Chains A and B, each alone.
Chain A
Amino acid sequence: MKKLLLLGDETIAQGAIDGGISGIYAYPGTPSTEIMEYVQRSKTAKEENIHRTWSTNEKTAMEAALGMSYAGKRAVVCMKHVGLNVAADPFMNSAITGVNGGLVIVVADDPSMHSSQNEQDSRYYGKFAQIPFFEPSNQQEAYDITREAFRLSEKFNVPVLIRITTRLAHSRYAVQLSEREAQNETSFPQNPKQFILLPSIARNRYKSLLNHQNDFLQAAENSKYNKYIEGEDKSLGIVASGIAFNYLLENYPGGKCPHPVVKISQYPLPKNLLKKLYDETEELLVLEEGYPFIEEQINGLFNYGKPVHGRLDGHLPRDGELNPNLVAKALKINYRQGFDSPDFIANRPPELCPGCGHIDVYNALNEAIKDYGNERVLSDIGCYTLGALPPFNSISSCVDMGASITMAKGVADAGIFPAVAVIGDSTFMHSGITGLIDAVNDNSPITIIILDNSAVAMTGGQPTSGEGRIAEICKAAGVNPEHIRKFVPLRKNHNQMVEVLREELNYKDVSVVIAERECVRVLQRNKKLKKQIVKN
């Protein structure tokens, strides 16, 4: 079989294709986006007719994947860490229903928040749902584990979670592929009541999940992805999970660590492996990317007085991602320091692209709202969040997808008028519509500016699910059609835009202003693609 140079995300996609999936469901989000994008480019996926279009949000993705599993086929669902908050309801309940066809949930965490609002650790969700979960330590394992996860899912009749982090998702390595499995035939669950979570049935289903806990544990104890690696120097035992294992080996020539090591990539935590390490060594050091998930459990499991070091006792920073140097420090290994950068190096934060329509909207909004102030402008997540930075300083919040509309409503409910929401088209489709309906039902005096650039621009310009239908959707949600306004955000339209915004700010009910102009980056990309097609 051949080797391919793939991003961690792409190895998971390839593993899912080779694992015989019939569908992949996802909503874009860094660092998970490239999983779906790879399947969308794949020739095999096309030939095999694998379902591979973007979902409107993570919850719809999770549910559609569960439906495919119900119908007997294998499905994978991918999202960034905060996406699992959105999909948490179907996710938690899928642990109770169990699966029919194999169901794998891939969640990409973003420690250090390179492109995220927080750095939550999805392993807690795995434990919360009480399902088996994996944390691959490198690209090859990511491929193999994806294959394994489907088998485990069908063997134990549970959804299985794979947790990766940014540096694995976005790093390339040559990966050895293995034989592709065929897709499952469709079939309904053997037990026709399996998916009916009425209390009487759900109680039984939950018991069945609990009865499987020991199987999950045994699978982890015997997993080839978890290992006890012998070491002469027993003054210290090391637990390293996921990519932290690589940072450990990096610190020793030839990867030969003198201390005993337990490497963990499959959960629930293999207690026997850990107990052996605890008993045989004098102190433990826990290396893990994310929250002190293992460290806390070790403290709880064997609290017999031996020191356990890690993120909780300051051997490693409490927040942010790890790297080889932080691990060296925790190991008390001296490492070479490079050169100092001079003080005059300035920060270079991301910014809106020149010519972006969001710029024109913010210029107009700042003028229209001058007399009131920007504190009353609630916003959301996307490229337009950069409007919080100078020179715009236009918006005062960015919390979670869809929160602009509902927070503006809350601000209005508190008695502030006017209140404004600024939201992107994809974010509006993702989670804005339900909030809009709340606002309509309460006749909330808010102005909602929808930035319709026909793209999920922040994550690389994927298509949006509401393409060309935003105004219709607002009308159907009950917004007075006279107060659904549109303009094209261009500098030459500045005065008109200010005028429209002023009028709608003064309207004492829900109004929607749609700024319609394609993302310039997507426009350029499409032009280039066209040129290439003509040439070839």
Chain B
Amino acid sequence: MKKDIVIAGVGGQGILTVAAAIGLAAMEEGYSIKQSEVHGMSQRGGAVISHLRISDKEIYSDLIPEGTADLILGVEPMEAVRYLSFLKSDGWLITNSKPFINIPDYPEHEKLLSFINFLPHSIIVDAEDIAKKIKAPKSSNIVMVGAASPFLDIKKENLEKAIELLFKSKGENIVKSNIEALNAGLEAVSHKV
């Protein structure tokens, strides 16, 4: 078992929470993980990426080599596409559709989405809309964890456990709405898998 996942988004979108949720769940399954994150300057609204490596064997590099990632998980569509050089030829790109526009030269949304649709294996999810519908507007990052879950080889109950661990300190309601977000994300892709 080996899963190399590039998680991409904009500083402040909860990339590290996404990585932590999947990472903890993988550990719960008994796998080794290495997870490299970006701290510092780019967390101020810049491009942010995390490399999450899951394996049943020893993991050497903290960084995923280019051309070998099994999955790119985007909490923002342009950021997901930024790291395509990491994706292996039969890897999946799964991304939130909602753009985060804080720069003047952001590409045309239609052009971006059709580019993504044209990739051999890609799924676009309107995570923000889904999160709003279940009244958990701040959980679109966890919706994306749900959308990625069929590709992770990790049991859903372990993802739920990880979410509980991560959000415990914020109260029971927050845990509940994030587990709902996870399930809603999974549901949104179930017909595409």
Please list the residues of chain A having a beta carbon within 8 angstroms of any beta carbon in chain B. Answer: 5, 7, 30-31, 33-34, 114-115, 167-168, 170-174, 243, 246-247, 249-251, 254-255, 323-325, 328, 335-342, 344-353, 383, 386, 458-460, 532, 535-536
Q: Return the 10 tightest CB-CB contacts between A and B, nearest first.
A: A115-B40, A336-B67, A30-B40, A350-B46, A171-B36, A171-B62, A250-B61, A324-B65, A350-B44, A339-B84
Q: How far is the CB of B167 from chain A (nearest CB, A)?
A: 11
A-B contact pairs, 20 of them (CB 8 A): A7-B37, A30-B39, A115-B41, A170-B37, A171-B62, A246-B61, A247-B63, A249-B60, A323-B61, A325-B65, A338-B88, A341-B84, A342-B81, A342-B115, A346-B105, A348-B79, A350-B42, A351-B46, A386-B44, A459-B40
Do residues A353 and B107 form an inter-chain contact, with CB atoms below 8 A? Answer: no
In the complex, given contacts A7-B37, A172-B36, what are 4 additional A-B residue pairs having Cβ atoms less than 8 angstroms apart? A172-B37, A325-B65, A345-B81, A350-B45
Given contact pairs A338-B84, A535-B171, A172 touches B63 in the complex (Cβ within 8 A): no
B58 on the A face (CB < 8 A): yes
CA gap between A353 and B85 in the complex, in Å: 30
Q: How far is the CB of B24 from chain A (nearest CB, A)?
A: 8
Given contact pairs A5-B27, A348-B47, A340 touches B84 in the complex (Cβ within 8 A): yes
Interface size, chain B (Cβ < 8 Å): 59
Do residues B88 and A336 form an inter-chain contact, with CB atoms below 8 A? Answer: yes
Do residues A344 and B82 form an inter-chain contact, with CB atoms below 8 A? Answer: no
Q: Which of A338, A346, A351, A535 contacts B78 (CB 8 A)?
A: A346
Interface string of B9-28 (1 = CB under 8 A from A): 01100000000000110010
B68 on the A face (CB < 8 A): yes
Q: How far is the CB of B2 from chain A (nearest CB, A)?
A: 11
Do residues A338 and B34 form an inter-chain contact, with CB atoms below 8 A? Answer: no
CA gap between A352 and B51 in the complex, in Å: 26
Chain B residues in 8 Å Cβ range of A254: 57
CB within 8 Å of A: which B63-79 residues: 63-69, 78-79
B158 on the A face (CB < 8 A): no
B112 on the A face (CB < 8 A): yes
Q: Which of A170, A250, A347, A460 contacts B36 (CB 8 A)?
A: A170
Which residue on B lies nearest to A352, using beta carbons?
B44
Q: Which of B36, B88, B171 contacts A167 (CB 8 A)?
A: B36
CB within 8 Å of A: which B95-153 residues: 102-103, 105-108, 111-112, 115, 119
Do residues B32 and A174 form an inter-chain contact, with CB atoms below 8 A? Answer: yes
B169 on the A face (CB < 8 A): yes
Chain B residues in 8 Å Cβ range of A340: 84-85
Which residue on A lies nearest to B106, using beta carbons?
A346
Do residues B43 and A345 form an inter-chain contact, with CB atoms below 8 A? Answer: no
Q: Which of B27, B61, B112 contacts A344 (CB 8 A)?
A: B112
The CB with the most chain A CB atoms within 10 A, among B36, B58, B79, B102, is that of B36
Do residues B171 and A338 form an inter-chain contact, with CB atoms below 8 A? Answer: no
Do residues A348 and B103 form an inter-chain contact, with CB atoms below 8 A? Answer: yes
Given contact pairs A249-B60, A345-B81, A170 touches B67 in the complex (Cβ within 8 A): no
Q: Which of A251, A342, A346 contacts B103 (CB 8 A)?
A: A346
Chain B residues in 8 Å Cβ range of A341: 81-85
Chain B residues in 8 Å Cβ range of A353: 44-45
CA gap between A170 and B58 in the complex, in Å: 19
B33 on the A face (CB < 8 A): yes
Do residues A323 and B65 form an inter-chain contact, with CB atoms below 8 A? Answer: yes
Chain B residues in 8 Å Cβ range of A172: 23, 33-37
Do residues A114 and B38 form an inter-chain contact, with CB atoms below 8 A? Answer: yes
Chain A residues in 8 Å Cβ range of B192: none
Chain B residues in 8 Å Cβ range of A325: 65-66
Which residue on A lies nearest to B63, using beta carbons?
A323
Do residues A351 and B45 form an inter-chain contact, with CB atoms below 8 A? Answer: yes
Interface string of B148-175 (1 = CB under 8 A from A): 0000000000000000000001110000
Please list the residues of chain B having a beta carbon within 8 angstroms of any beta carbon in chain A. Answer: 10-11, 23-24, 27, 32-47, 51, 57-69, 78-79, 81-89, 102-103, 105-108, 111-112, 115, 119, 169-171
Given contact pairs A172-B37, A173-B34, A383 touches B44 in the complex (Cβ within 8 A): yes
CA gap between A31 and B37 in the complex, in Å: 11
Chain B residues in 8 Å Cβ range of A167: 36, 62-63
Chain B residues in 8 Å Cβ range of A460: 39
CA gap between A6 and B61 in the complex, in Å: 16
Chain B residues in 8 Å Cβ range of A344: 107-108, 111-112
Chain A residues in 8 Å Cβ range of B111: 344
CA gap between A386 and B40 in the complex, in Å: 13
Which residue on A lies nearest to B105, using beta carbons?
A346
Q: How far is the CB of A346 from chain B (nearest CB, A)?
A: 4
Chain A residues in 8 Å Cβ range of B108: 344
Chain B residues in 8 Å Cβ range of A352: 44
Q: Which of B51, B85, B171 contacts A532 (CB 8 A)?
A: B171
CA gap between A172 and B52 in the complex, in Å: 9
CA gap between A337 and B89 in the complex, in Å: 9
Do residues A348 and B107 form an inter-chain contact, with CB atoms below 8 A? Answer: no
CA gap between A336 and B42 in the complex, in Å: 28
Q: How far is the CB of A253 from chain B (nearest CB, A)?
A: 10
Q: How far is the CB of B113 from chain A (nearest CB, A)?
A: 12
Given contact pairs A5-B23, A246-B62, A338-B66, A346 touches B107 in the complex (Cβ within 8 A): yes
Chain A residues in 8 Å Cβ range of B62: 167-168, 171, 243, 246
Chain A residues in 8 Å Cβ range of B34: 171-173
Given contact pairs A168-B62, A348-B79, A351-B45, A339 touches B119 in the complex (Cβ within 8 A): yes
Chain B residues in 8 Å Cβ range of A34: 39
CA gap between A352 and B41 in the complex, in Å: 10
Which residue on A lies nearest to B83, using beta carbons?
A341
CA gap between A31 and B41 in the complex, in Å: 10
CA gap between A250 and B33 in the complex, in Å: 15
CA gap between A324 and B169 in the complex, in Å: 38
Q: Which of B38, B84, B89 contacts A336 (CB 8 A)?
A: B89
Given contact pairs A170-B39, A346-B106, A336 touches B68 in the complex (Cβ within 8 A): yes
Chain B residues in 8 Å Cβ range of A335: 65-67
Chain B residues in 8 Å Cβ range of A31: 39-40
Which residue on A lies nearest to B79, using beta carbons?
A348
Q: Which of B33, B69, B79, B112 contacts A173 (CB 8 A)?
A: B33
The CB with the most chain B CB atoms within 10 A, among A243, A250, A383, is that of A250
Chain B residues in 8 Å Cβ range of A251: 65
Do residues B27 and A174 form an inter-chain contact, with CB atoms below 8 A? Answer: yes
Which residue on B lies nearest to A248, using beta carbons?
B60
Q: How far is the CB of B180 from chain A (nearest CB, A)?
A: 19
Chain B residues in 8 Å Cβ range of A349: 46, 103
